[in-house]
Amino acid sequence: MEDNKKYLIDIAKEKTYPNQFDDYHKEFSEWRTRSDNPYGYSFVHDVREHTYVDGEGYYRKKADAAEKAALTKCLGLLGASLLVMLFIDAVISFVFYKLYNDSSIFDVRYSEIENVTTFLSPLNAALFGAATTFKYIAGLWIFVHFSKIPRKVAIPLPKDAKVSKSGIYLILVIMVMGKVGSYLINIIFGWMNVDCVFTLGFHNPDSVFSDAIYVFFNCVLVSIFSEFLFRGAILQLFRQFGDTYALLVSVITFSFTYYDVSSICYASLLSAVLGLFTLKTGSIKTAVIMRIVESISSYAVSCVILDNYSNGRVVIVCIYAFIATVAAFVFARLMCNGKLDFRMRNDSSEIDNGAKLRLFVTNTSITLWLVAVLGMVVLMVRFI
DSSP 160-191: TPPP-HHHHHHHHHHHHHHHHHHHHHHHHHHH
Query: 110 or 49: which carries more pLDDT confidence?
Result: 49
Same domain, 210 and 239: yes
Q: Which amino acid is at 307?
A: D
Q: What is the pLDDT of residue 111?
A: 39
Mean pLDDT over 194-216 rounds to 68
Query: Are the C-beta atoms of 143 and 81 separated by less than 8 Å?
Result: yes
**Residue 133 and residue 37 in one domain:** no
Q: State mean pLDDT over 175-202.
A: 66
Provide CB contacts within 8 A for 355, sequence distance 6+: none
Same domain assignment for residues 142 and 19: no
Task: Give the pLDDT score at 1.
Answer: 40
pLDDT of residue 59 exceeding 60, the answer is no
Q: Give me the pLDDT at residue 348, please.
A: 72
Same domain for 37 and 138, yes or no, is: no
**Structural domain count, the chain:** 2
Same domain for 52 and 159: no
Nearest-angstrom CA–CA distance, 284 and 290: 10
pLDDT band for 100, please (50, 70, 90 cuts): low
* Average pLDDT along the chain: 78
Q: What is the pLDDT of residue 52?
A: 46
Same domain, 193 and 301: yes
Question: Across residues 196-205, what is the average pLDDT?
Answer: 54
Domain edge (last residue) among 24, 44, 59: 59
When mean pLDDT is compared across 112-116, 192-196, 242-246, 258-262, the lowest value belongs to: 112-116
The reply to whether 41 and 138 lie within a common domain is: no
d(CA 334, CA 339): 5
Same domain, 82 and 40: no
> How distant, in Å, are the alpha carbons of 41, 85, 139, 302 from that of 82?
22, 5, 7, 28
Q: Taking a C-beta distance cutoff of 8 angstroms, is the pair 381, 93 a contact?
A: no
**116 in the same domain as 33:** no
Q: Are 205 and 241 part of one and the same domain?
A: yes
Under the banding of pLDDT at 50, 70 and 90, the label for residue 259 is confident
| Range of the structural domain that residue 27 is part of | 4-59
- Whether 226 and 104 share a structural domain: yes
Q: Per mean pLDDT, which of 12-16, 118-122, 128-132, 308-312 is the most reliable?
A: 128-132
What is the tens place of the pLDDT at every residue in 321-363?
A: 777 777 677 666 666 665 556 666 667 777 888 899 999 999 9
10, β-bridge pairs: 44
Domain check: are 36 and 87 in the same one?
Answer: no
